Amino acid sequence: MAEPHISVLLNENRIFKPSKQLAENSNVNKWMASHGISSYEQLLKKSQDIEWFWGTVSKEFVEWYSPPKKVLDWKLPYSNWFVGAKYNIVHDALDRHASRTPNKVAYYFEGEPGDMRAITYKQLSDEVSRLANALKRLGLKKGDRVSIYLPMILELPIAMLACAKIGVAHSVVFSGFSSLALADRINDCGARILITCDAFWRRGKTVQLKVQADEGVRQTQTIEHVIVVRRTEENAPWVQGRDLNYKDLIATESPACETEKMDANDLLYILYTSGTTGKPKGVLQRHAGYAVNIALTLSWVFDLKDGDIWWGAADAGWVTGHSYIVYAPLMLGTTSIIYEGAPDWPEADRWWDIVQRYKVSVFYTSPTAIRMFMKLGTEWVKKHDLSTLRLLGSVGEPINPEAWIWYHENIGGGRCQIMDTWWQTETGAFAIAPLPIADLKPGSAVHPLPGMAAAVYDESGKPSPAGQGGNLVLLRPWPAMLGGLYKNPEKYQDTYWAKYPGVYLTGDIARVDESGFYWVQGRADDVLKIAGHRLSNSELESSLVSHAAVSEAAVVGKPHEIKGESIVAFVVLKQGSSPSEPLRKELREHVAHDIGKIAQPDELYFVNDLPKTRSGKIMRRVIRKKVVGEPVGDISTLMNPEAVAELDNKT
Ligand code: PRX
C-alpha cells in the first residue's frame, strides 16, 4: 500500500451556502421539522442512533409485505437489516406506482441516432412482468442468476427489474467490457441466462455486442439461453435453439406477474468490481436495506420532488446506474432520462441539448465528463437554455475545485449547489455527501450522511489529526452495505475488515479539515480510477503477461487532465521477442480485447527489468513515482535497485 500521508496540495476555503429557498423547502428539512430536529448538526448527531434512524426512515421509504422484527442484526463483518421482513424492491420501484400513478413517465429514452421513447410506470411494469413471466417459463426460479450485457437502452432496467421481480439475482456486465470479461463474470456467478442485444450505437457507428456475447458464452458452461434485444435490427449471428428473440419471447406473455415475496436479506444482485488482485469481486446487494438506503439518499441529497426530471448520466452497467438510474429514482416515482450514446455526439452540445429539450432539473455526472466539457469550451453550453436545472451532482472520483467552479458557473448558472457524492460499489448508496441544507466547499464531499459514521485513521488505527491524510474508514454498518463477496468470504474479510478490527476499510485516502469537511484524495491501494471507473492494476498486468511475448508487466496510473488518471504500462519481453511499434500496438489491443477499451494502456513501454522487493513483488509505488517525476525515496531494500535507473532506458 502507498503511504497514506498524501500531502495537501491545495487549501480550498471558498464556501457556497445554499439559498434559503433550497434549504427551507428541501425534503430533509421537512423531515427534520416533523421529527423535532432543529439543525443539521443535531440531525447528524441524532442519526448516530442507527437503529432508531434507519428504523424510522424505513417506514417512510418502503412498503413491507410484512414488517421487520428487528432493524439490525450485526455479526461482524456481516450485517442483516430489517430482519424478518418480507419485501421486494420491485414492489416499491414499480408495483405501487403502476397502480397509483400509472400514467406518469418513468423514463424518457433517447437513442444516439435521435429516436425517442417515453415509457410510463404502467407500461414499464407491464413489460417487466411480461419478461418476468418469460423467464419463469424458461425455468428460472428464485435464487438463480441471470447475466445482463446491455447498453443504455430501456431493456436494461427492464431486464434488471424482471429478474428482481421473480427473485432471480442479476449480474449486469458493462457493455464496454470485452467478451472475456463477460465470460469471467458468467463463470463466477453461474448464470443460466444471458440477456443481450444485437448491437448499439456509439459515435455514429454500431458496436456488435452479440458477436462479443457469443464469443464470451463459448467460454462458459452454464448458459442455457441467450435472449437478444433487437436494437439496430442488424443481422446478428444466431445460434438456433439457444438464442431467443426478446420481442417474440414476451409477445404472448401476460402483463401481470406476481412479485415474489422475498426475505429482507435475500440477494438482489451481484455486481463485479475491480480489486487489488486480478479477479473481479462479486459485490452482493440485498433487497431491503439497499432499498431503504438508496431511496433515502436520493430523496435527501438530490431533493427530488414530484415535478423533477432527473438525469443520472452514467451507465447502468456500474453501481451508479444500479442505484440511481434504476432502483432509487423508480422508488421515488421520479421521471428520469436514459440516453444511449456518446456525450459529444454528433456535436459537443448533445448533453446540453438533452437537458434543454427534456427540461432536466437535477443532473448528476462525473468529474471526467465535466473536465471534458470544460476543454470543449463554453460556447457549446451557451447554445442552450439550462435554466431548468436546480441542483447538480458529481461522482466517481475527486473533483478538482477548478472543475467544480466551472460546473457551478457554466452548467449551474451560478445558482445550483453541487452535490459531490462519495460512495462505492460496496457502499451501495451515497455515504459522504452534502445535503441541500449544507454549506459547500469546492472539492469536498462535505460530511458523512445521517446514519453514517466515518473517520480517517492513521496506520496504527488512531484518528488522524485535522488536515492530515489517512485511510478513510466507516465505523458502523449501514443498510446498503455489501452483503459480502460472492462465494468469497475470505476475500471479503481480508479486503475490508483485516486492517482495523471491526472497522470497514474503504481503500481511499482522505482528510478531514478543521471544520469537519471530508476531502477524498484518491485510492490507497492498487486500483486505477479511469474516467471514474475502477480498474485493477493487477488485472491489466495479468492480461499483458498472458501475451506470448511478455514475461513481466507493471501498470501504474498517472494524473491525467481529463480522465483523472491515465494508464501507463511497462513490460519486460521474453527472450526471443524484441521491442517494436507493431508489438506495442498489439499489446495495447490485447488488453482491450481481454478487458475492454477502457483498460487499454495510454502509454506502453518496453524495459529490461522492473524494480522488485526481495520477495519478488513488483514495486509499483516506485514506478509510479518515476512516472510522475517525483523522487523515488529509499530503494535500498529492493532486490534490484538498479532496475529503477533502468526505467529511464525505456523504449
Ligand atoms: O476512490 C473512490 C472513488 O470511487 C471509488 C469507488 O468506485 P466504484 O465502486 O467504481 O463506484 C464509483 C461510483 C460510486 C471510491 O472508493 N470515488 C467515488 N466517488 C467519489 C470518489 N472519490 C472522490 N470523490 C467522490 N465523490
User: Which atom belonging to ligand 1 lies closest to the Cα atom of 426?
Assistant: 9
User: Atom 23, ligand 1: which residue's CA is nearest?
Assistant: 398
Q: Kindly give the distance from the C-alpha atom of residue 321 to the centroid of ligand 1, in angstroms, as a whole number.
A: 13
One domain for residues 226 and 113: yes
One domain for residues 196 and 96: yes
User: Atom 14, ligand 1: which residue's CA is nearest?
Assistant: 424
User: Atom 11, ligand 1: which residue's CA is nearest?
Assistant: 424
Residue 108 φ then ψ, to 5°: -100, 115
Q: Kindly give the distance from the C-alpha atom of residue 149 to the centroid of ligand 1, in angstroms, as a whole number.
A: 23
Burial class from Cβ neighbours inside 10 Å (0-12, 13-18, 19+) for residue 256 reads: exposed
Mind listing the pLDDT tens digit for each residue in 281-302? Answer: 999 999 999 999 999 999 999 9
Q: Kindly give the distance from the C-alpha atom of residue 78 to the centroid of ligand 1, in angstroms, as a whole number.
A: 22
Q: Kindly give the distance from the C-alpha atom of residue 532 to the centroid of ligand 1, in angstroms, as a whole number.
A: 7
pLDDT at position 2 = 38
> Cell numbers of 482, please?
455489501
Q: Kindly give the distance from the C-alpha atom of residue 428 to the centroid of ligand 1, in angstroms, as a whole number.
A: 11
User: Which atom belonging to ligand 1 lies closest to the Cα atom of 521?
Assistant: 23
CB 431 within 8 A of CB 454: yes
Q: Kindly give the distance from the C-alpha atom of residue 522 to the centroid of ligand 1, in angstroms, as a whole number.
A: 8
One domain for residues 177 and 147: yes
151 lies in some domain: yes
577 lies in some domain: yes
224 lies in some domain: yes
CB 453 within 8 A of CB 402: no
User: Atom 15, ligand 1: which residue's CA is nearest?
Assistant: 424
User: Which atom belonging to ligand 1 lies closest to the Cα atom of 423?
Assistant: 14
Residue 527 CB partners (closer than 8 Å, separation 6+): 274, 275, 276, 507, 534, 535, 536, 537
450 lies in some domain: yes
Q: Kindly give the distance from the C-alpha atom of residue 421 to the centroid of ligand 1, in angstroms, as a whole number.
A: 8
pLDDT at position 3 = 38
Q: Kindly give the distance from the C-alpha atom of residue 330 to the centroid of ligand 1, in angstroms, as a whole number.
A: 23
600 lies in some domain: yes
User: Which atom belonging to ligand 1 lies closest to the Cα atom of 318?
Assistant: 10
326 lies in some domain: no
CA distances in angstroms from 159 to 128, 189, 256, 265, 601, listed in the order given: 7, 17, 16, 21, 33
Instruction: Reply yes or no: is the peptide bond before residue 77 cis, omega within 30 of 0.
Output: yes
User: Which atom belonging to ligand 1 lies closest to the Cα atom of 506?
Assistant: 16
One domain for residues 148 and 201: yes
pLDDT at position 11 = 65
List of the chain residues with pLDDT < 50: 1-9
pLDDT at position 188 = 97
Mind listing the pLDDT tens digit for each residue in 476-511? Answer: 999 999 999 999 999 999 999 999 999 999 999 999
pLDDT at position 212 = 97
Q: Kindly give the distance from the C-alpha atom of residue 396 to the centroid of ligand 1, in angstroms, as a whole number.
A: 4
One domain for residues 47 and 100: no
Mind listing the pLDDT tens digit for each residue in 439-457? Answer: 999 999 999 999 999 999 9
One domain for residues 515 and 632: no
One domain for residues 27 and 65: yes
State how many domains the chain has. 3
Mind listing the pLDDT tens digit for each residue in 584-621? Answer: 999 999 999 999 999 999 999 999 999 998 888 889 98
User: Atom 24, ligand 1: which residue's CA is nearest?
Assistant: 398
Give bridge partners of residue 369 from the DSSP assignment: none
CATH number of the CATH domain containing 574 = 3.30.300.30
User: Atom 26, ligand 1: which residue's CA is nearest?
Assistant: 422
User: Atom 4, ligand 1: which residue's CA is nearest?
Assistant: 396
The residue with cell 478490527 is: 501
pLDDT at position 10 = 55
Residues with CB under 6 A from ligand 1: 273, 319-320, 395-398, 420-425, 445, 506-508, 520, 523, 529, 534
User: Atom 25, ligand 1: which residue's CA is nearest?
Assistant: 422
The domain in which residue 592 lies consists of 547-648
Q: Kindly give the distance from the C-alpha atom of residue 433 to the centroid of ligand 1, in angstroms, as a whole number.
A: 12
Instruction: Select from 294, 366, 529 the residue to mutate for testing ligand 1; criterion: most ligand atoms less than 8 Å from CB.
Output: 529
CB 564 within 8 A of CB 397: yes
Neighbours of 174 (CB within 10 A): 21
User: Which atom belonging to ligand 1 lies closest to the Cα atom of 425?
Assistant: 9
Crossing angle, helix 287-301 and helix 27-34, to 10 degrees?
110
Which of 260, 293, 325 terminates a domain? The answer is 260
> Cell numbers of 107, please?
423514463
pLDDT at position 5 = 40
374 lies in some domain: yes
Helix residue spans in 482-536 (DSSP H): 489-492
One domain for residues 126 and 204: yes
One domain for residues 406 and 443: yes
One domain for residues 373 and 442: yes
Which of 226, 260, 294 terminates a domain? The answer is 260
Distance from C-alpha of 53 to C-alpha of 570, rounded to nearest angstrom = 50
Query: Do strands 470-474 and 454-457 pair parallel, antiparallel, or not at all (unpaired)?
Result: antiparallel
Helix (H, G, I), strand (E, B) or coil at 393: strand
CATH number of the CATH domain containing 276 = 3.40.50.12780
349 lies in some domain: no
pLDDT at position 1 = 37
One domain for residues 77 and 104: no
One domain for residues 596 and 638: yes
